[in-house]
Structure 1
């Protein structure tokens, strides 16, 4: 006897059967990314206190960041493979619960070596959740809604920056740096448990799986995914290069105070929260078109960096920073959606894991390069020319990407 629709298990429903549940999925994926970012960014506010507690010199504090990113880059690739192998909902829990436990464990750090080891473990957990969140969102939302869904999902990183800088200093003053990591670890593990209980993978409609399923080898040879890896590398070069260097460049290049530079940097970050959902909505209203919008976004980003590098006064910087912030983050949901749509539903996690691992190289390399350029030229504008090279590369590479919707 055939079961009725009401007798199905949750895992058997398609996205058309449960239109409301997809928003539950998006909410939990957003919370997972939010806490993953807050756990990672908390170090920026707590480094000095932790260093004082462990007797670390200021120069040694960067080693903890390096340790985290060693684990983070590795787990981006492995996490993507795990997402496709075990399922995105299960993989998200597998990532988030260990991240909560290792974040909690960091509060008991008593030596530099112990702290470095735990930071590597935190990175290994933190890098595994992004692919799972992307695949959950991509498979629970069809391409007509996927742009705005990805836009909302990717605001988690921007909100994470604001929340970390607002909450962590206060919590630290009340509970100490150890207490902050215990609170964050507990909340992160709690969200992971919610994901384990509530989340289920989408049952992809037959029309989406009727196309021949790609293999990992075919993904590695996929010209469009390789191009998107280059595109993302260039984009993150500009975004995080600016974020890492803007304060120092403004202070050293134009003599503004650290407080003035901080306000300008905050204005830069504010534009990101609203721009991501907006561009996703525009893309959806245009029938899921991504390529042309991305070309325009990257070209505007490169131009905005060159313009910012030509400014001189605090007022000019204050006016330009929000617009630069919009161009620096607005592309995120669309490039993530394109990776998913080109890879197909079966290998979204693997494709995103590998491309994101390559994208992160831009974040790792650019601070060193910009530092060298500024040291050699002592020129504020030349530093921004070097930053603009990233989105300029992304603009050119994007022209060669073929836009496809495999699901």
Structure 2
């Protein structure tokens, strides 16, 4: 009897998986969560693209240019834990909308910031508002994509790298023409519009699929005890230490150290994002090939990231920066969909939101600390290469953590 019931459940799971993998609407769902993630990241990195020229008007010293980014990520880290659990309770659609609405409002309000402390307070609030967007997107993708989850994660995470391209290609120019305040007010309005689209278009799971069970305390405890999740959390923290640190300081360092104009520095940073846009879906697709590929790909990518940061740190001309930036972007962002797919595999569908939120909270602690640490070392040494070497420490730590990761079959 038990065998018969088990076979029935397995058949139901297989049918559910097939339904999720063949539904055409899943691409609409992916497009909406991608757009939400894109706008969230544009709001996040917009300050970095104008920090050098605008910082002076707000009375910021060189060492404090990263303070707003750090404030955002402190709020983001705090909100990720609760946001992940909230996602597993309310569902991805409701949580994503609840994240986008206040993010749009606070981004609009940042256009009225007039001092260091008002800017820090609003960026902190923006981080709190955006804290659940990542786990909500992960939860929705886990429900709609099964066998090709790596490819879906690869496409999803192109949002962050494309956001770097869009931000650096538009925000400095808009700020130059219309003022940085209006640039942030425009971003806030667009984010609110995306929230409305998410609410009316998204569905938590394919039609006819049974709802996932509500997450319990025992499920969260199991996640906290998972060796693989702990190692993936450390790896992501080290990786994002460098990725976000470069995003926060790359433009300002090139401007401060070599006198490159903010618009040219933004154009170089845009090519950094272009490399990432290409690499992410490719590496995500490759990671779907077999269960051991994800570990190997993430280790190779993060190793190359550390090396490329040190090479970039030895560069000094616009031509060199243009040549190296796409390669740096490819390895500096390419590992993210592979790590995200590994987190999803290790957490399981029912706890996908909490697993994403808990690990991302640790990942983003690297994002929160990196801008201030790099700013400190640059202020002390005024050395471009020392700043980039400081960033390279993160991927080295990530590779060490991933080397201890046990291989597990995909879920």
Normalising by structure 1, report the TM-score: 0.82
- Paired residues of 1:15 and 1:140 also in contact (CA < 8 A): no
The secondary structure found in structure 1 opposite 2:127 is helix
Q: Who is 1:157 aligned against? A: 160
For 1:335-346, list aligned pairs within 5 A: 335-346=339-350
After TM superposition, give the deviation of residue 69 of structure 1 in Å.
Answer: 3.0
Deviates more, 1:224-233 or 1:266-275: 266-275
Are residue 334 (structure 1) and residue 321 (structure 2) matched? no
Q: Who is 1:355 aligned against? A: 359
Question: Aligned match of 1:195 in 193, 198, 207?
Answer: 198
Q: Residue 226 and residue 263 in structure 1: after superposition, are their counterparts in 2 closer, same or farther (change >3 A)?
A: same
- Paired residues of 1:342 and 1:403 also in contact (CA < 8 A): no
Q: Residue 234 and residue 213 in structure 1: after superposition, are their counterparts in 2 closer, same or farther (change >3 A)?
A: same
After TM superposition, give the deviation of residue 268 of structure 1 in Å.
Answer: 2.6
Q: Who is 1:129 aligned against? A: 133
Deviates more, 1:94-103 or 1:363-372: 363-372
Q: Residue 248 and residue 15 in structure 1: after superposition, are their counterparts in 2 closer, same or farther (change >3 A)?
A: same
Q: Residue 179 and residue 381 in structure 1: after superposition, are their counterparts in 2 closer, same or farther (change >3 A)?
A: closer
**1:147-197 Cα distance to aligned partner (Å, 9 max, x none):** 111111111112212222333345556765554444333322222122222
Q: Who is 2:94 aligned against? A: 90
Q: Residue 66 and residue 285 in structure 1: after superposition, are their counterparts in 2 closer, same or farther (change >3 A)?
A: closer
Looking at structure 1, the residues matched to 125 and 179 of structure 2 have their Cα atoms a distance apart, in angstroms, of 22
After TM superposition, give the deviation of residue 135 of structure 1 in Å.
Answer: 1.4
After TM superposition, give the deviation of residue 306 of structure 1 in Å.
Answer: 3.2
- Paired residues of 2:80 and 2:357 also in contact (CA < 8 A): yes
Deviates more, 1:396-405 or 1:364-373: 364-373
Are residue 386 (structure 1) and residue 361 (structure 2) matched? no
For 1:8-407, list aligned pairs within 5 A: 16=19, 19-44=23-48, 56-59=58-61, 64-107=68-111, 116-142=120-146, 144-169=147-172, 171-172=174-175, 177=180, 179-202=182-205, 215-247=219-251, 255=258, 257-258=260-261, 264-286=268-290, 289-311=293-315, 315-373=319-377, 380-405=384-409, 407=411
Give the aligned length.
389
RMSD, matched Cα? 3.5
Looking at structure 2, the residues matched to 44 and 307 of structure 1 have their Cα atoms a distance apart, in angstroms, of 22
- Paired residues of 2:174 and 2:183 also in contact (CA < 8 A): yes
The secondary structure found in structure 2 opposite 1:346 is coil
| Unaligned stretches of 5+ residues in structure 2 | 1-14
Deviates more, 1:83-92 or 1:214-223: 214-223
After TM superposition, give the deviation of residue 240 of structure 1 in Å.
Answer: 2.6
Looking at structure 1, the residues matched to 327 and 187 of structure 2 have their Cα atoms a distance apart, in angstroms, of 32
Normalising by structure 2, report the TM-score: 0.81
**1:212-238 Cα distance to aligned partner (Å, 9 max, x none):** 996111111111111011111111122
- Paired residues of 2:73 and 2:365 also in contact (CA < 8 A): no
Looking at structure 2, the residues matched to 105 and 98 of structure 1 have their Cα atoms a distance apart, in angstroms, of 10
Q: Who is 1:8 aligned against? A: none
Q: Who is 1:3 aligned against? A: none
The secondary structure found in structure 2 opposite 1:159 is helix
After TM superposition, give the deviation of residue 76 of structure 1 in Å.
Answer: 1.4
